[in-house]
């Protein structure tokens, strides 16, 4: 099934939610105070070089508040923008399956009990190396009551690039995690980043070919963001590398959409960050304009998701 619209010739999350939940669904990003095995020394130190000081959870709730207070504080903001919506709590910052199973079960259930009549499920951002059989069994158990969505950071299928960004995770580990989650009927979202250091167009297209072979449900496209107080910022200042221009980014994303398997849902086309921390590329501040240009390019050229997909 596809979720295209007249204006967007690709599967959109909004259309998917309308069909699955008969409603618009808004994510409420929460901060659970988790860390990451790539930060605490289990597999690496310092984290991925691009990762922000808040563990890529810059727009998540205030960690000093309870989940209940984080939820309702953000819900108030959303309600001013969207009058009729359901909600998806989203554990966003760092790796949110990186704990003992009994602790995770308590946390997940606590969140789902905050506003049970208005929430449709729970989204959890994590790493593939924080997925094992016990965690999958927990997710499967919760998924029987409310939808569970797991968001995995791949960023690139090029393992040389993965070493440069200190990902500290192999492609095999990622594949194994995806297969375990799929077998448990867990909805899988994958994050990729375009414009990583020294990657070319072929590398970025190859990441899509890699994902096309896996049983994933959804994808988020991000542009590389150079942020203050990150290892990548320090590296960029010392040895500048090419930053994608807006036109280059739009061209690459459109090509990726055209080769992307046509059952995969596109949740995001562009990254955003705190304006105060952003160093490059400054064009990413115009997030909506970039998204509109991607849509326009596809429509004007009679292109759509999967038009050049090859099995």
86: which strand partners? 25
Strand order across the 85-91 sheet: 24-30, 85-91, 121-126, 147-155, 187-194, 218-223, 265-268
User: Which CA distances in Å does 160 have to 130, 156, 169, 170?
Assistant: 22, 9, 11, 10
Q: Is the pLDDT of residue 6 over 80?
A: no
- The predicted model scores a pTM of 0.95
- Residue 120, domain CATH: 3.20.20.70
Q: Is 311 within the bounds of a domain?
A: no
Tens-place pLDDT, residues 217-227: 999 999 999 99
Q: Is 306 within the bounds of a domain?
A: no
Residues 11 and 264: beta-carbon distance below 8 Å: yes
Residues 6 or more apart whose CB falls under 8 angstroms from that of 275 comprise: 285
Tens-place pLDDT, residues 177-205: 999 999 999 999 999 999 999 999 999 99
28: which strand partners? 89
Q: What is the pLDDT of residue 58?
A: 58
R_g over Cα of the chain: 19
Q: Is the pLDDT of residue 53 over 70?
A: no
Average pLDDT over residues 56-62: 64
Q: Is 249 within the bounds of a domain?
A: yes
Residues 129 and 99: beta-carbon distance below 8 Å: no
* Domains: count for the chain: 1
Q: For residue 309, is the peptide bond before it cis, meaning its omega torsion is within 30 degrees of 0? A: no
Q: Is 309 within the bounds of a domain?
A: no
Share of the chain above pLDDT 90, in %: 82
Q: Is 3 within the bounds of a domain?
A: no
Q: Is 45 within the bounds of a domain?
A: yes
Q: Is 2 within the bounds of a domain?
A: no
Instruction: Please count the residues of the chain.
Output: 311
Q: Is the pLDDT of residue 55 over 50?
A: no
Residues 6 or more apart whose CB falls under 8 angstroms from that of 75 comprise: 28, 87, 115
Range of the domain at 59: 13-300
Q: Is 237 within the bounds of a domain?
A: yes
Which tokens hold the place of 199?
A: 């990657």
DSSP state of 245: P
Q: What is the pLDDT of residue 24?
A: 94
């Amino acid at each position: 099934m596809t979720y295209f619209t007249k204006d967007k010739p690709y599967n959109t999350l909004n259309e998917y939610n309308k069909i699955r939940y008969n409603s618009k669904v808004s994510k409420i990003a929460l901060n659970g105070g988790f860390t990451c095995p790539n930060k605490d020394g289990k597999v690496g130190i310092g984290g991925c070089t691009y990762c922000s000081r808040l563990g890529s959870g810059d727009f998540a709730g205030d960690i000093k508040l309870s989940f209940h207070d984080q939820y309702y504080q953000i819900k108030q903001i959303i309600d001013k923008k969207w009058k009729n919506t359901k909600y998806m709590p989203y554990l966003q910052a760092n790796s949110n399956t990186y704990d003992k199973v009994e602790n995770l079960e308590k946390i997940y259930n606590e969140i789902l009990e905050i506003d049970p009549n208005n929430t449709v499920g729970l989204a959890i951002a994590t790493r593939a190396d924080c997925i094992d059989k016990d965690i999958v069994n927990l997710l499967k158990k919760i998924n029987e009551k409310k939808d569970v969505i797991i968001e995995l950071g791949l960023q690139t299928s090029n393992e040389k690039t993965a070493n440069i960004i200190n990902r500290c995770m192999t492609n095999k580990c990622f594949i194994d995690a995806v297969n375990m989650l799929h077998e448990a009927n867990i909805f899988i979202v994958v994050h990729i980043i375009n414009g990583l250091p020294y990657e070319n167009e072929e590398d970025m297209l190859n990441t899509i070919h890699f994902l096309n072979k896996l049983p994933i449900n959804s994808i988020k496209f991000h542009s590389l963001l150079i942020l203050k107080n990150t290892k990548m910022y320090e590296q960029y200042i010392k040895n500048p590398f090419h930053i994608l221009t807006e036109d280059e980014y739009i061209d690459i994303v459109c090509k990726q959409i055209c080769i992307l398997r046509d059952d995969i849902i596109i949740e995001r086309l562009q990254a955003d960050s705190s304006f105060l921390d952003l160093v490059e590329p400054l064009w990413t501040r115009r997030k909506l304009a970039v998204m509109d240009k991607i849509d326009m390019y596809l429509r004007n050229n009679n292109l759509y998701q999967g038009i050049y997909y090859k099995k």
